Amino acid sequence: MSSPALTGASTVPLKTGIPPKELLDDLCSRFVLNVPKEDQQSFERILFLVEYAHWFYEDNSVENNPSLKSFTLKEFTSLMFNSCDVLKPYVPHIDDIFKDFTSYKVRVPVTGAIILDQTYERCLLVKGWKGTSWSFPRGKKNKDEEDHTCAIREVLEETGFDVSKLINKDEFIEMIFGPQRVRLYIVGGVKDDTPFAPRTKKEISEIAWQRLDELQPVYGDVISHGVTGLKLYMVAPFLKSLRSWISLHQPPVLPKPDAPVRAISMWKQGSSLVTTMKSSSRVSNSSNKGPAPGQSFRNFQLDVFPLLQAIETAFS
Ligand code: M7G
Ligand code: MG
């Protein structure tokens, strides 16, 4: 099981930063070849596997061997196809394969949750690792996964918070954006001193309670800006229905006159500090031992989490 090539720790540092062939072969065999046959049936599925290998490469190999270069998924896909014998014959079609994959990805339905605090004045938003936009915790459905199960999994992956006991399958707002259906379950009454921390690496850079009245305009586009300049992605279109829901439901706690008026950052990448509401002081978050690698496995039935855990154990 132990292979120095996978972590890249003992490979000879290459000036070019290009991963050595044995590392790419290892990633290919672990993430692409050693999976059930049904997961290798289409290039869309294979590219989800390559994406997983890419995350592992970025989060483990590059981190353990900084002389290795970071790549975009497209670049990494090209490296894998050129290096792996089984994928090599398809190199001439790689542009089409990648284009099909990206257009397939945006057709996969997305579910997540609108988490409200106890006063219904704030909602929990997450900021993407790469961009600067904030969105509700949400993500793509896996194959044969139910909507609410995906929402529970994605919220857990992106915030570390388990909504399985709080979610009501009938309480959601659903919108269609071009080819994509987005369903967000409304989970109200979450204590604002709840500890949050993502379980995926390099997907989420910050988690915060944002004030709903700062997320204007109500009739927003997919990409919009809140009144304080906050960049929002797929938030504004949900606000009108959310306000209607809030007007019909009594919050468990009435807003306090001395409540903080601004957003509250609950977790930030690279920082072990989080804000707690009770003390308003900066305290160490004991549950934040650093995020684990991604667990979402796209459109596969294969449960990759035990595999990743085994790999992590073997190399830690
Ligand atoms: P996603 O899981 O494809 O989207 O992640 P979803 O939650 O909407 O289903 C969105 C983006 O976050 C990806 O395109 C990556 O850029 C980044 N990302 C997500 N995960 C789980 C990881 C991960 O484990 N490692 C790295 N490096 N990036 C990730
Ligand atoms: Mg996600």
Q: List, for residues 36-69, the tens digit of each pLDDT value.
A: 777 777 899 899 999 999 999 999 999 899 899 9
Would you say 197 and 271 are in contact if contact means Cβ atoms under 8 Å apart? Answer: no
- Work out the angle between the directed axes of helices 73-83 and 43-56 (0-180°, nearest 10): 110
Do 241 and 119 lie in a common domain? yes
In a domain, 281, yes or no: no
Residue nearest to atom 6 of ligand 1 (CA): 139
In a domain, 202, yes or no: yes
Do 195 and 230 lie in a common domain? yes
How many Cβ atoms from other residues are within 10 Å of residue 38's Cβ?
12
Report d(CA 143, CA 189) in Å as an integer: 31
What residues make up the domain containing 208?
109-268
Q: List, for residues 262-281, the tens digit of each pLDDT value.
A: 788 999 988 765 554 433 32
Do 91 and 226 lie in a common domain? no
Enclosing H/E stretch for 139:
strand 138-140
pLDDT of residue 217: 63
Report d(CA 22, CA 81) in Å as an integer: 14
Helix, strand and coil content of the chain, in percent to the nearest 5, comes to: 35, 20, 45
Residue nearest to atom 16 of ligand 1 (CA): 203
Do 100 and 133 lie in a common domain? no
Q: List, for residues 288-316, the tens digit of each pLDDT value.
A: 333 333 333 344 333 444 444 444 444 44
Please indicate whether residue 200, judged by its CB atom, sits closer than 6 Å to ligand 1: yes
CATH of the domain at 34: 1.10.10.1050
Backbone angles phi, psi at 24, to 5 degrees: -65, -40
Which atom of ligand 1 is nearest the CA belonging to 54? 27
Q: List, for residues 182-192, the tens digit of each pLDDT value.
A: 999 999 999 99
Do 216 and 307 lie in a common domain? no
**pLDDT class for 219, splitting at 50, 70, 90?**
low
- Number of domains the chain is built from: 2
